[in-house]
C-alpha cells in the first residue's frame, strides 16, 4: 500500500507571479521553474512572487555547476532537477552544497532504467519521464509497467502525460520507491499558465486515494 497522503505533488513550468501564488494555494508541495532557454516555459527574470510554503525547484539542462548555483542563490531554490547528460559528479557537487538533487531519466525501454544505477549515491530523487526529442516533457504517458524493473532505493517522481484524467491509473500504480508526481502541460491553459482550480481538485482527490484502497 502506498502512503498517498505523503506523496509529493510537484507542479513544474511556472512563471507568472499570480499563477504561482494560486498554484501554491492549490496545494502544490514543490513548484518548478525551468531555466532551459529553449523551453516555452523558460524563466528569464525573477517573478514578483516566489513560493513561500512550497519548495522551489530549478530545472536545468547541461549547465555548469557554477551557473546553476548562481541561479539557486538568485531564486532561493531548495532543489535542482537535471534533465541533460549531467554526470554523477555534478549531482554530488550540488548535493554537497545542501541542495536536493533530482535527476530526470527518459524511459522508453528497460535499458533506460539501467542508467539510473550510476546515480544512486549522488541524487535524492529520480524523475522518470517519457522519452521524446530534445529535452523536457512530451505530454505523453510512457509504459509504467517498465518501472517494475527499477529496483533502486532512490525514490522517484512519476511524470509524463499526467492530467486530470490520470487518477484512475495512479490508483492502480504500485512501486515501493514511488514518492510523488510531476504535473505540467496536462494542467495548462497555455505554456507556463496553469489551471490552478484543476490542480487543486486533482491534489485533493490524489490525497484521498489511500482511503479508497
Q: Which residues are catalytic?
A: 12, 129
The packing angle between helices 88-95 and 65-75, to 10°, is 40
| CB neighbour list of residue 164: distance below 8 Å, 6 or more residues apart | 186, 187, 198, 201, 202
- Grid cell, residue 69, equals 548555483
Query: C-alpha angle 99/104/107, rounded to 5°?
Result: 160
Q: Concatenate the DSSP letters of all residues of 143-179 into one string.
A: -GGGGGG---SS-EEE-SS--GGGHHHHHH---TTEE
Give 115-132 as a DSSP string: GGGGGTTT-SEEEEEE--
- Bridge partners, residue 42, by sequence: 34
Specify whether the CB–CB gap between 10 and 157 falls below 8 A: yes
Residue partners of 66: CB distance under 8 A and separation at least 6: none
Amino acid at each position: 500500500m502506498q502512503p498517498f497522503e505523503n506523496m509529493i505533488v510537484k507542479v513544474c513550468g511556472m512563471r507568472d507571479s499570480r499563477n504561482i501564488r494560486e498554484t501554491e494555494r492549490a496545494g502544490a508541495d514543490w513548484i518548478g521553474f525551468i531555466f532551459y532557454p529553449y523551453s516555452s516555459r523558460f524563466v528569464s527574470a525573477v517573478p514578483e512572487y516566489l513560493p513561500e510554503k512550497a519548495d522551489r525547484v530549478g530545472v536545468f539542462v547541461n549547465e555548469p555547476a557554477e551557473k546553476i548555483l548562481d541561479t539557486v542563490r538568485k531564486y532561493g531554490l531548495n532543489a535542482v532537477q537535471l534533465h541533460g547528460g549531467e554526470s554523477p559528479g555534478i549531482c554530488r557537487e550540488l548535493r554537497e552544497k545542501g541542495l536536493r538533487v533530482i535527476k530526470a531519466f527518459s524511459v522508453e525501454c528497460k535499458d533506460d532504467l539501467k542508467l539510473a544505477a550510476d546515480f544512486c549515491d549522488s541524487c535524492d530523487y529520480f524523475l522518470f519521464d517519457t522519452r521524446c526529442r530534445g529535452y523536457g516533457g512530451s505530454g505523453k504517458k510512457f509504459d509504467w509497467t517498465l518501472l517494475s524493473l527499477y529496483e533502486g532505493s532512490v525514490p522517484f517522481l512519476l511524470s509524463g502525460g499526467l492530467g486530470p484524467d490520470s487518477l484512475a491509473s495512479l490508483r492502480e500504480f504500485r512501486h515501493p520507491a514511488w514518492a510523488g508526481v510531476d504535473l505540467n502541460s496536462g494542467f495548462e491553459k497555455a505554456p507556463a499558465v496553469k489551471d490552478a482550480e484543476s490542480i487543486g481538485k486533482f491534489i485533493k482527490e490524489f490525497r484521498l486515494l489511500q482511503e479508497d484502497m
